[in-house]
Chains A and B, each alone.
Chain A
């Protein structure tokens, strides 16, 4: 009964979405306030209905209702509760449900919190959001219905892919989808602005917080995914340039460009058509990511169950959304008035450079990901593109981007003095040189030269961002107390930028450290033996069997010591899941926050007395995720900027009179 209620709610949501995408649009065109007013209740009703449907599906998973085929395919009665809940979105149908929940939540958020939007813009934004909802609800109902029953119901389910039964991955999709879908707001605002035929600084001010929120959650989502790959896949890498990773990375790069170009629209009323285009492209790349993952057009480990009908459907959706909006763009964008002029050396100029480099980076990843497909379609042969391509093409674009990222904030709007900006960066330059010297001294010239370039970039980004902050609060030039007051009174967006840029430097340090200086020992070890990696001696004490709820595990006990001192006891596991007949590696990691000691237990050797053990020392690797979390925090701090809440009644310092005089 409850699954049927969910199904019913989903169908209702589709019809509400149809109303939401039509009526307010007509209302806005004819100036009919009542028709425009339909947008708000429709968006809220759609969210509630989708929540009911999602709740029904979750209920089916939680109580293990094996008469629902989605539950049979992806759950098992013995699965821990956390994964029963996260298993809802760990499969194709359920993940589309989560996608729609996010989409309608964003739509409802505009309806609820968009009080200060001009009524026609608000009606149009919600209508466009409704159209996206129609597309995805139809997609779920036609090709991916999660509420289909099986008769007779099997006694137990097939269990969730054990690689996905992990806390890191349980929370990875919600963040990722919030990011993907969050960019739908920028898209809806862009399309609405094209329909209105008007883009002004106020428009950019409304778009920026949504983009910031989407960007922050996408950053967290990508970081969680890479962290999961690092500890769960058992060989200590953190990024593989896999098509599915690229599918999430492209919207991130384009979204980063969008964040920065929207600043120029807001502050200087320039780059308007470019910003609109970026907004369309960023969401289109999110849609394309969905398409690539689910169509089976490219092969990847992450791929969901592939079904050509779904692929065609998403392709049609992509065609309508992207093709339609780009058509609208080609018709309306030329009529938008161009804004303020600026010299090449200026804050605007640096943001344009940032956009050029980020777009180039996006295009690089795009070409690398889709090149095999294009070549195949053109009958030019079959090829594969691996990490060497991406490393060779992405890094040369990233290097000037980081250098410019630090200089840009020192430049004034309209026309700036580059020499002046560079001389104010002398402290950062000194700090960078010191860091490189320290790195070269510690590693004694080991590792590639590119590693020192990486250290230089990391230090430059970190100290350069701090130098900019120090400049703003006039540190050491005015008394400390005045500097403190200036810091407190700085806009939150300035704080956010400094935090995000500085932590970007930390993340680069992590990436460089682990790529260049990791040590790796792979040995067949018997209990009682000891191996050494990067100065740590790791002894294999014993191995035993542990029974988990839906798996059995071989659990090794390792003692890590350095210079005779006990550091940690690590217990890596090798789990076998009988239902799916898969084994997973649960690596054990000891982190000092400066480096990780990583132990993974492999297969037993053929005679069964020894085990293949992989020992790694990853310098600086935790900084990758500390950096990513810092960047997310920067985005969130910036989001609290007062400017984004204009129109919200301000609280007065002096209390109003408690009673109004009677009239």
Chain B
């Protein structure tokens, strides 16, 4: 019996090790393929207080839209923010956002501080909608086509390289397609 106690750390470690190993196959930067090319999940998020427009699946039809999931408490969001701002202001891509598990006042202060390139923002205070989107953490970014289907997902901060090599060509292609 006493020996079993000394075996416990090893067993716990094996469990953690197996989780790590399985974790490789679930690269957090990969979208579960199920969501690609599927219509965005049905959702309807209210705007942040004091603003007019929120975000729902209806909003996402009609134009090719980049949907960025961010939170004021998330550091990588801050890192990618200039990249998104440039994408919206200089490249003319419509960018909308889901504000993930945030306090409204924190989010508004963050936007005031860092600039607000978003055409509209849906406030997802409890993170329900983000779960339907398959959001693993913040930041994540989706590209939605004119029919409201998810065509691309990026996990982690957007870099100029991802924008140049993946997002802009895809935006061009999707705009030309319809």
A233-247: CB near B (< 8 Å → 1, else 0) gives 101000010100000
B115 at interface by CB-CB < 8 Å: yes
Q: Which residues of A lie under 8 Å from residue B112 when comparing CB positions?
A: 522
B23 at interface by CB-CB < 8 Å: yes
A297-341: CB near B (< 8 Å → 1, else 0) gives 111110000001001100100110011001101100110000000
Q: How far is the CB of B157 from chain A (nearest CB, A)?
A: 7
B46 at interface by CB-CB < 8 Å: no
B47 at interface by CB-CB < 8 Å: no
Bound CA span A361–B138, Å = 25
Residue ID in chain A nearest B71 by CB atoms: A386
B41 at interface by CB-CB < 8 Å: no
Cβ of A273 and Cβ of B17 under 8 Å apart?
Answer: no
Cβ of A376 and Cβ of B136 under 8 Å apart?
Answer: yes
Cβ of B135 and Cβ of A242 under 8 Å apart?
Answer: no
Cβ of A326 and Cβ of B19 under 8 Å apart?
Answer: no
Cβ of A329 and Cβ of B20 under 8 Å apart?
Answer: no
| B60-79 with Cβ < 8 A to chain A | 71, 73-76, 78-79
Contact A323/B160 with A315-B21, A376-B136, A377-B22 known, Cβ cut-off 8 Å? no
| A372-429 with Cβ < 8 A to chain B | 372-374, 376-377, 381-384, 386-388
Chain B residue total in the interface (Cβ 8 A): 46
Bound CA span A240–B72, Å = 12
B103-129: CB near A (< 8 Å → 1, else 0) gives 000000100111100000000000100
Q: Which residues of A lie under 8 Å from residue B134 when comparing CB positions?
A: 382
B151 at interface by CB-CB < 8 Å: no
Contact A373/B19 with A382-B131, A612-B113 known, Cβ cut-off 8 Å? yes
Contact of B109 among A277, A319, A323, A522 (CB under 8 A): A522
Bound CA span A376–B27, Å = 10
Cβ of A299 and Cβ of B156 under 8 Å apart?
Answer: yes
Cβ of A384 and Cβ of B136 under 8 Å apart?
Answer: yes
Contact of B76 among A277, A299, A327, A522 (CB under 8 A): A299
Residue ID in chain A nearest B134 by CB atoms: A382
Q: Which residues of B lie under 8 Å from residue A280 when comparing CB positions?
A: 9
Cβ of A603 and Cβ of B115 under 8 Å apart?
Answer: yes
Cβ of A330 and Cβ of B3 under 8 Å apart?
Answer: yes
Q: Which residues of B lie under 8 Å from residue A37 when comparing CB positions?
A: none
Contact of B75 among A242, A291, A315 (CB under 8 A): A242
Cβ of A333 and Cβ of B20 under 8 Å apart?
Answer: no
Cβ of B17 and Cβ of A240 under 8 Å apart?
Answer: no
Cβ of B135 and Cβ of A384 under 8 Å apart?
Answer: yes
Q: How far is the CB of B29 from chain A (nearest CB, A)?
A: 7
Q: Which residues of A lie under 8 Å from residue B13 when comparing CB positions?
A: 284, 322-323, 326
B14 at interface by CB-CB < 8 Å: yes
Contact of A273 among B6, B27, B136, B156 (CB under 8 A): B6
Bound CA span A522–B2, Å = 61
Cβ of B17 and Cβ of A319 under 8 Å apart?
Answer: yes
Q: How far is the CB of A229 from chain B (nearest CB, A)?
A: 9
A-B contact pairs, 27 of them (CB 8 A): A277-B9, A280-B9, A284-B13, A296-B28, A297-B20, A299-B76, A301-B79, A318-B17, A329-B6, A329-B9, A372-B28, A372-B137, A376-B28, A376-B136, A377-B23, A382-B134, A382-B135, A382-B137, A383-B127, A383-B131, A384-B101, A384-B137, A384-B138, A386-B74, A387-B73, A388-B73, A614-B113
Give residues in A with beta carbon < 8 Å to B.
Answer: 233, 235, 240, 242, 273, 277, 280-281, 284, 291, 295-301, 308, 311-312, 315, 318-319, 322-323, 326-327, 329-330, 333-334, 370, 372-374, 376-377, 381-384, 386-388, 522, 581, 583, 602-603, 612, 614
Beyond A308-B27, A383-B131: 18 further Cβ-contacts under 8 Å? A233-B78, A277-B9, A281-B9, A284-B13, A297-B23, A297-B27, A318-B17, A326-B13, A330-B6, A330-B7, A372-B28, A372-B136, A372-B137, A384-B135, A384-B137, A386-B101, A581-B160, A603-B115
